[in-house]
Chain A
Amino acid sequence: MLEKKLNELTDEELINEFQQNNVSKAFEIIIQRYKNPLMNYVYRFLGDYEACVDIVQETFIKVYRYKNSYSSIAKFSTWIYTIAGNLARTEYQRKKRRNFFSIESTWDENEPYEIPDESFRPDVTTDSDLKEEIIQKALLKISASYREAVILRDIQGMSYEEISEIMKINVGTVKSRINRGRAQLQKLLKNIYKE
């Protein structure tokens, strides 16, 4: 009965229940609602499933621990995406530093990008799973700041204002990053869409 009632509440009402009355069921419903969208966001950004699971779990732990730092003025989804985004960016920087001298990190995100990957040939990209893999690889090859903006806009379907809050940049910068990110992706994936 209580669970049914809680399920009908908005995210903001749920976190309020959790803040005021420490209703742990409200926190569990928040996890159920956000675990997959956050997994999608973090995975598209990092491309590493294991790391992604850890980051999303850490996001919920932070929500639990710092529940009182959320103010009802802001949208809950923006708040939780900001936490996940910060953690994902930290992990990305850590990985980048770790792979600095490795063979895998030969590409520079600021340099022009060219993918001489055989899998990008149109005749090979018939399978939808393979196409997804190619898109994911291309996403990982564009600049991290462009990537984040494109993921939030085109995959997560967020508004420019929400993205601006999550990334702590103004709306104009959000728009330009999205456009540049898309342009980079277009170049990388042109072989897929040529047909």
Chain B
Amino acid sequence: MEENIYDQLHVDLINSLQQLKQINAPDNFEHNVLLKLNSSSINKGINFKYGYSWSKLIPILAAAIIMVVAIIFLLNEQVKSDNPSLTNSKPIDHSSVNSTSKNKIDETVKTQTSSDNNISAPSSDQNNISNKETKAGLNNKKAELSKAIKKEMDSVSKK
């Protein structure tokens, strides 16, 4: 008797399960699947539209960046070599000292003074030793120049 009740319950249960309402997908389901597919493909590095992957592009981009950096570095070096270094001061033209004109001498002195100012500006890539050497050389040249100016002044005053 009890078995029959349970058999009936069993049948009722199976019927109830079979008659459960169908759960439907939302209206925009397909659209969302396609959207997810596109977004996941971008994340995965697959570009359906253009047929190449970001993973392949990354080394190319890296190489391009390295090349650009290298070109900038080389250009910088080129600029440095084109402009005379501040440590290599121009040799003093002694012939200008021999000029008889006082104005000329003044101009030479002015030019030299301005170049002296430039020389005194410390360059970042100069070491201390070269700075000292340069300064000593300049002092000598200054002394020579002042001597020459004195001589010239004397000769002018004698005249």
Contacts and interface: CB of A to CB of B under 8 A. Distances in A.
Contacts of B37: 61, 64
Given A39-B24, A52-B23, A155 B9 contact: no
Interface string A180-192: 0010011001101
A36 B18 contact: no
B25 A150 contact: no
B16 A155 contact: no
Interface stretch (B27-35, B58-66, B135-143, B151-159): B27-35
For the residues of A in contact with B, the DSSP-based class is: helix
B50 interface: no
Interface in B1-38: 6, 8-10, 12-14, 16-18, 20-26, 29-30, 32-33, 36-37
A44 to B, nearest CB: 7
B33 A157 contact: no
Contact of A36 (B9, B24, B36): B24
Contact of A35 (B6, B25, B40): B25
A76 B29 CA distance: 21
A112 to B, nearest CB: 17
A18 interface: no
B22 A36 contact: yes
Interface string A126-159: 0000011001100000000000001000110100
B17 A135 contact: yes
Contacts of A49: 23
A115 B14 CA distance: 20
A26 B150 CA distance: 103
B17 A154 contact: yes
The bracket for how many chain A residues form the interface is 20 to 34
A56 B23 CA distance: 12
Given A186-B13, A193-B12, A56 B21 contact: no
Contact of B13 (A32, A64, A136, A185): A185
Nearest to A40: B23
B20 A190 contact: no
A53 B21 CA distance: 17
Given A32-B30, A57-B36, A182 B20 contact: no
Interface string A105-121: 00000000000000000
Contacts of B6: 186
Contacts of B30: 28, 31-32, 35
A193 B6 CA distance: 10
A191 to B, nearest CB: 11
A176 B27 CA distance: 38
A81 interface: no
Contacts of B26: 53
B16 A131 contact: yes
B122 to A, nearest CB: 64
Given A61-B36, A155-B18, A193 B24 contact: no
9 contacts: A36-B25, A39-B25, A40-B22, A57-B32, A61-B33, A61-B36, A131-B16, A182-B14, A190-B9
